[in-house]
Structure 1
């Protein structure tokens, strides 16, 4: 298991503010203080004066403090920003995975040593009673998320301990859990992330950019297979690794007669004095995702355009627009309000059982207070077929999603070489990609001005062509394109990037977000297609897509997704 430590930031320590990034995504710290630090180490930076705690992971990025010859200040530069430092010391970057507020009255059960450093896990950790007391102290600050998972791993292998936690007697029976060794190996191998050349990079980065995706193509090209594959690649919790399918995956088969949101979110049915809540599979899966916030969850809505998406999916389309950051986590408005949850749970005695949380008082209380909302770790991926039995997609839907088109099949796949199988991997690098380093579009633009400037210039060129048409670009399109390119650029930390990586990303995302919107007859889009072909000469995927659209237009008089 990786080493885990606490660093208690004492009053008056100005290094904390000098070394913390403006967006609190990372913090540098002196290797002379956190001695023998290595990539993958866990550090909880606890700052009681600022009333905040950071759960951070050490990286291999190190900067040396130097004296500025003009200002005589001791500092170093990173990503265009200046950080205060000591001259000649090495400062290591720690990526912040989660942050939390320290409530009034919180304190350490047992004060830390004079240097403010204590081990939570390591080869020299022997005082388990003190260590577990500090784990419990931190668990009060992190009731959920990746920090809580880390703290629970720090509690393994201990037979038992009796202690007082914040003036309350606690008896702890902490034993090695079944399969926990696999969990420890998984966690250790989780930090690297994927490289730009990863075979599923485009899909993984699209998922990180947008919680609602569409996979399009003719029937039988492996669209739902891809979603299930993603689930296997990210099922990092042993409790979810079922023998037949991963527990973070759910297949929802759309019916042609769906026309109400109730088909996905359920409804209360009454007959006489009896009331029962009809709980669909998707609602139950949403609740399940809330129980595992550290694991990506995927709901595959198969053949989504068999029914009109705008009719049965409007609640989701609206809720996606309410996304915002609270406490470092993405949150949404509730599908089912806290008031309605209270009503349903009172009228239907089996309500909590149907949701799968009959014994989980914590989650029940959360739903009663805040309602049932879309969790940040859930991605909805719809598959759509392009044939005469399906409905076309409106601009309202296309504006709120990213469309990835699956290509034609390889006739030799699985014949001359072994086909890919649905198996759990030994390592879970994909989890890191999806759960860390999320930013908003403004942060993405500021963090990498050179890349952001190139993206905006390209969008302006395309907007000049589309501005007077029904396909004009929106702020949603701009934000998704910026984020997609920024998340791809971040993969440079995991390995070498090709020199034309940004061209590749722009080629992919223009297809996903812009060209999918081009639909209509020759009067609507004939000239626009010609202009776009000229404007995207450097992008091969765009050229292929536009040629396909143009062929469809000439053959049928109409073009559509």
Structure 2
């Protein structure tokens, strides 16, 4: 989750953690330090002086998550880009890709497990601020996440707007994210009425971004389909896929556009083509692309995360 300080990123993550806790706390907030350069800040280390393994709150939480596989657990990394994510979180990112356990130590006599697998019921949320004290993300990180942007609201709108209506979809489906673990083949089967249209859209974005070096792989495609399928279930599995463009619009902004960054000479034509393609179909993505174009004109450089 990215946005200016004070826009509610951390609070929303905490509220979601409380929502899924159901009487027993099933979330942990870990403030990321500016000096985190290796995995020990998350996964601990073997103390060579004592011969014992020094665990961390995050590792203890992951172990607790593993012992309760039927319920979701939320690990919140607050201000996760105060340090290079690729340094302190690289083992976790690799484990997501390979499904292999993460090695912790090689001392069989210390009495602590030598490796740990990432439980499927563990959800990781990171809050992100962008300023002179923080670091940007590599494609390796962005490929494995949905980037949700929190926009600022002017004071008048904030003070006078009426509270939003309550959600009207299938809340029970959202209560346990483990319900989202559906095989890709089943997702494609359910998406079949609109699969050709989605394929055409994905092909357009792939070709346009490949020329600028921001093309994407099958992981992004599968996660986009998974998101759209989950949104469809949340809305009650309507027979007509009338809202598929709304679902896809969210994924353009959360999965495809965040990787884009660079100078005007590289991105001017690309952003224009993407914006024109989104016009009238994908309003949220169109608005974001307009903002990026304006930034590019003024600063001669732009990135999705500001």
Deviation at residue 514 of structure 1 after TM alignment: 0.7
SS of the equivalent of 2:141 reads helix
2:20 equivalent to 1:253: no
Structure 2 distance, partners of 1:374, 1:260, is 18
Pick one of 260, 272, 275 that aligns with 1:518: 260
Deviation at residue 428 of structure 1 after TM alignment: 7.3
Q: Where do residues 356-505 of structure 1 align in structure 2 (5 Å cutoff)?
A: 371-409=115-153, 411=155, 429=172, 432-493=175-236, 500-505=242-247
SS of the equivalent of 1:442 reads helix
Deviation at residue 463 of structure 1 after TM alignment: 1.6
Pick one of 17, 40, 50 that aligns with 1:231: 17
Between structures 1 and 2, the one with greater helix share: 2
Aligned pair count reads: 298
Between structures 1 and 2, the one with greater strand share: 1
TM-score (norm: length of structure 1):
0.50
Structure 1 residues 498 and 250, CA gap change in structure 2 (3 angstroms): farther
SS of the equivalent of 2:2 reads strand
Structure 1 residues 437 and 545, CA gap change in structure 2 (3 angstroms): closer
Structure 1 ranges of 4+ moved more than 4 A: 412-420, 430-433, 496-499
Partner deviation per Cα, 1:458-515 (whole Å, 9 max, x = no partner) = 1011122122221012111111111111111122437x69964111111100000111
Structure 2 distance, partners of 1:478, 1:318, is 19
SS of the equivalent of 1:390 reads coil
Structure 2 distance, partners of 1:385, 1:432, is 28
Contact in 2 for aligned 1:462/1:535 (Cα 8 Å):
no
Structure 1 distance, partners of 2:251, 2:152, is 20
| Residue matched to 1:47 | none
| Residue matched to 1:536 | 278
Deviation at residue 372 of structure 1 after TM alignment: 1.7
2:73 equivalent to 1:285: no
Structure 1 distance, partners of 2:153, 2:74, is 24
Deviation at residue 431 of structure 1 after TM alignment: 5.3
Structure 2 unmatched ranges of 5 or more: 165-169
Partner deviation per Cα, 1:292-350 (whole Å, 9 max, x = no partner) = 2222111111111111111111111111112xxxxxxxxx321236x84x72xx325xx
Deviation at residue 453 of structure 1 after TM alignment: 2.4
Contact in 2 for aligned 1:301/1:381 (Cα 8 Å):
yes
Structure 1 residues 534 and 266, CA gap change in structure 2 (3 angstroms): same
Q: Where do residues 182-221 of structure 1 align in structure 2 (5 Å cutoff)?
A: 215-221=1-7
SS of the equivalent of 2:35 reads coil
Structure 2 distance, partners of 1:437, 1:389, is 36
Deviation at residue 524 of structure 1 after TM alignment: 1.9
2:66 equivalent to 1:303: no
Deviation at residue 394 of structure 1 after TM alignment: 1.4
Deviation at residue 286 of structure 1 after TM alignment: 0.3
Partner deviation per Cα, 1:392-448 (whole Å, 9 max, x = no partner) = 11122212211010121363688668989xxxxxx9725555122522333311333
Structure 1 residues 417 and 526, CA gap change in structure 2 (3 angstroms): closer
Contact in 2 for aligned 1:452/1:482 (Cα 8 Å):
no
Contact in 2 for aligned 1:248/1:298 (Cα 8 Å):
yes
Structure 1 distance, partners of 2:16, 2:300, is 38
Structure 1 residues 430 and 389, CA gap change in structure 2 (3 angstroms): farther
Structure showing greater radius of gyration is 1
Structure 1 residues 410 and 300, CA gap change in structure 2 (3 angstroms): farther
Structure 1 residues 511 and 418, CA gap change in structure 2 (3 angstroms): closer
Q: Where do residues 41-60 of structure 1 align in structure 2 (5 Å cutoff)?
A: none
Contact in 2 for aligned 1:217/1:384 (Cα 8 Å):
yes
SS of the equivalent of 2:224 reads helix
